[in-house]
Amino acid sequence: MQFLVFLSLDQPIFAKQINIVPKLLHIDTTGEEALIGLSFDNKIIAEVKNTETQNHAGFVQTTIQAICKDHAFDLSQLDGIVVTLGPGSYTGMRVGLASAKGIAYALDKPLIGLSSLALLAKAGKKQITNTGVSYKLFCMIDARRMEVFGAIYDQDENALTSEEAIILNKDYLLDLSKESTLYCIGSGAAKASQLVEDMHLQLLDKHYGVEEMVQLGLKKWHSSQFEDLAYVGPTYIKEFYSIPPKSS
């Protein structure tokens, strides 16, 4: 697999926001399901999902080409590229970011990086209807054995902890849930349910979609929170992590 190498720059390639309705390309290959989307402002024009974990590299470019063809859209019309930086699959993170950086560099467009855990927090909040009750969101990506890559968020999607590798155990989960309901979301959430059977610990649907990428991407667009192409990298957390292939 080949990756683009970027020279160090004093300033990001795109450092000035333009007051327009942004057309954004969305790329997420950090997990078992890869996502490619196209949005105009807050409207999703196209959303394609790939469930073949080992084929994200081939999926990205062919899907982008198909979307452009189906919607008579040229990549030069883009105003920015949104990419999920992780945490997640080691290989998947590199695949998505390499494609996003290549497009951003070639077209001189801004790159917006998102956290997969922050996306889970946004998706989780939408599923919680009892807003009058205090709660926390434990967003987690499955790692090896009883380990997850995770972070805790409050009801307003503010991170209460940093993104880190966490070894799950019963005492840790009970401590998190003793004062308020703990909602667990993400590919590692099932591990938590195996350890604790408690009314204060609840599981949510593990997926987020292009909708959440659009919402967080637009927020960063309007505040000009762009990545520096020379320095941005995947959120590895640990040196190496790869989601194992699904058993047939």
Residues 20-64: tens digit of each pLDDT:
789 999 999 998 889 999 999 999 999 999 988 678 888 999 999
Residue 223 has a pLDDT of: 95
| Band (239; pLDDT cuts 50, 70, 90) | low
Residue 243 has a pLDDT of: 52
Cα distance between residue 80 and residue 112, in whole Å: 7
| CB-based burial label for 195 (10 Å; 0-12, 13-18, 19+) | middle
Give the angle subtended at the CA of 117 by the CAs of 112 and 118, to the nearest 5°.
55
* pLDDT tens digits for range 109-168: 999 999 999 999 999 999 988 767 789 999 999 988 889 999 999 999 999 999 999 999
| 3-state DSSP assignment of residue 209 | coil
| CB-based burial label for 204 (10 Å; 0-12, 13-18, 19+) | buried
Q: H/E element holding 70?
A: helix 56-70
> What does the block give as tokens for 88?
């997640």
pLDDT higher than threshold 60 for residue 247? no
pTM: 0.86
Bridge partners for 43 per DSSP: 40
Report the candidate in 88, 94, 47 with the shortest Cα–Cα distance to residue 67: 47
Contacts from 167-173 at CB under 8 Å and sequence distance 24+?
168/192, 168/195, 169/195, 170/195, 170/196, 173/198, 173/201
Phi first, then psi: what are they for 24, rounded to 5°? -120, 140
Burial 103-116, CB ≥16 within 10 A → b, else e = bbbebebbbbbbbb
Query: Hey, CA dihedral for 47, 53, 55, 61, is it positive or negative?
Result: positive
Domains of the chain: residue spans and CATH: 117-203 (3.30.420)
Residue 83 has a pLDDT of: 98
The residues, ordered by sequence, that sit 6+ positions from 90 with a Cβ below 8 Å of its Cβ are 234, 236, 240, 241, 242
